[in-house]
Amino acid sequence: MSHREFAGTGAELAEAVPADQAAFTRLTERHRRELHVHCYRMLASFDDAEDAVQEALLRAWRARESFDGGVLFRAWLYRIATRVCLDVIRRRTTRARATASLADVPWLQPYPDRLLDEVAPRAGEPEAAAVDRETIELAFLAAAQLLPARQRAAFLVRDVLGWSAQETAGLLETSVAAANSALQRARATMRNHLGEVRSEWSTPALTVEDKQVLARFIEAHEHGDATAILEIAARDIRVTMPPYPYLFEGIEAMESLLERACGPHREGDWRLLPTAANRLPAAASYLRRMDDVRFRAFKVDVLQLRGGRIAQITTFGPELLAHFGLPDVL
């Protein structure tokens, strides 16, 4: 993250924080989305990130007189937001102990690409890492949830936002040596759980092939064609459904799910809309039950592709559809 957002003396920087609440809100709003993405990466929950940003901006307003220009305004907000997230993590009654699958992170939620695009800078700008696929993909987020709070913060501000060791130590209110130690332990954990899979996330946007597979997935569902869906599924496909602990592994398990969705005893008919989440292809599904005349929001499937086939489907509820810019009813 570039801290060079204001130029001038410390006094001029201090004057950038207005005492008027309306003016202060206008100033902070320009950073809201990127702060939300950061909190989402810390917490892996869209809703929890929203709450954290609200709390961070409230704390910033209350502490505005403490901003003396010694750190730049964006960095100051990131410090506050990160500390709010640390508090949230400490208050959580559970922490991920393993990530054998995304079912191990029940609070995981998707992040709509249309909102990521709000903070995506031009190529080559320092803030580009904030929305890189490599650092927003679901498996990355799940692995980060294994890290203790301070290690997670150290890893994300150093390796994603590009803070220095000294800045990280200041954030964590510890020594540079302790901050570096936390970072090294975090890096080791992430390597152990992600391995080489991160090399598959280098594509910054959906490819033509991604969109073609998604189109086939949508068409097959709308026609109730389970065979066509299986044709684009990997043999070792995985299906998870946070917050539920369900894990379906392999093509045979997929067949049983499709029997319920597409078979003669299915609940109704489907309409699917293409979308994208976490820099992955996704589809919003609407179900028209046999006793209904409208298609109603049912779920969002996020697809992880490998070699032109679907390697993983993460199914979420429809609660965040409005953030995807999609309706509740068709």
> Which candidate, 285, 322, 319, 313, places its Cα nearest to that of 300?
285
Which band of pLDDT confidence, cut at 50, 70 and 90, is reported for residue 268? very high
pLDDT of residue 195: 73
Q: Which residue has the tokens 């510890």?
A: 174
Whether 184 and 230 share a structural domain: no
Whether 304 and 228 share a structural domain: yes
Q: Is 328 helix (H, G, I), strand (E, B) or coil?
A: coil
Q: Flag whether 293 is in a domain.
A: yes
Q: Is the pLDDT score of 242 beyond 50?
A: yes
According to DSSP, residue 136 is labeled T
Q: Which residue has the tokens 């901006």?
A: 57
Average pLDDT (22-29) is: 87
Whether 163 and 55 share a structural domain: yes
CA gap 124, 258 in Å, rounded: 43
pTM of this structure? 0.90
54-68, 120-134, 209-223, 231-245: least confident range: 120-134
Phi, psi of 299 (to 5 degrees): -165, 170
Count of structural domains within the chain: 2
Whether 39 and 100 share a structural domain: yes
Q: Is the pLDDT score of 42 beyond 60?
A: yes
pLDDT of residue 2: 40
> Which candidate, 58, 34, 51, places its Cα nearest to that of 117?
34
Whether 184 and 275 share a structural domain: no
Whether 182 and 67 share a structural domain: yes
State the DSSP string of 69-99. SSS-HHHHHHHHHHHHHHHHHHH-S------
CA gap 217, 138 in Å, rounded: 20
Average pLDDT (76-97) is: 91
Which band of pLDDT confidence, cut at 50, 70 and 90, is reported for residue 22? confident
Q: Flag whether 96 is in a domain.
A: yes
Which band of pLDDT confidence, cut at 50, 70 and 90, is reported for residue 204? low
Whether 56 and 155 share a structural domain: yes
Whether 120 and 195 share a structural domain: yes
Which band of pLDDT confidence, cut at 50, 70 and 90, is reported for residue 142? very high
Whether 47 and 196 share a structural domain: yes
Whether 306 and 160 share a structural domain: no
Which band of pLDDT confidence, cut at 50, 70 and 90, is reported for residue 285? very high
Whether 145 and 226 share a structural domain: no
CA gap 239, 233 in Å, rounded: 11
CA gap 154, 169 in Å, rounded: 8
pLDDT of residue 134: 78
Q: Residue length, the chain? A: 330
46-50, 215-219, 305-309: least confident range: 305-309
CATH number, position 249: 3.10.450.50
The domain of 284 spans 208-324
Q: Flag whether 4 is in a domain.
A: no
Domain boundary among 183, 201, 219: 201
**Mean pLDDT estimate for the chain:** 88
Q: Flag whether 2 is in a domain.
A: no
Whether 297 and 226 share a structural domain: yes
> Which candidate, 212, 309, 206, places its Cα nearest to that of 251?
309
- Quick one: tokens of 233? 């599924």
Q: What percent of the chain has pLDDT over 70?
A: 86
Q: Is the pLDDT score of 8 beyond 50?
A: no
Average pLDDT (123-135) is: 60
Helix (H) / strand (E) containing 276:
strand 268-277
> Which candidate, 233, 239, 235, places its Cα nearest to that of 302?
239
> Which candidate, 242, 297, 258, places its Cα nearest to that of 250?
258
pLDDT of residue 202: 53
pLDDT of residue 120: 67
Q: Is the pLDDT score of 269 beyond 70?
A: yes
According to DSSP, residue 43 is labeled H
Domain boundary among 142, 166, 201: 201
pLDDT of residue 16: 57
Q: Is 41 helix (H, G, I), strand (E, B) or coil?
A: helix
> Which candidate, 252, 248, 233, 216, places its Cα nearest to that of 304?
233
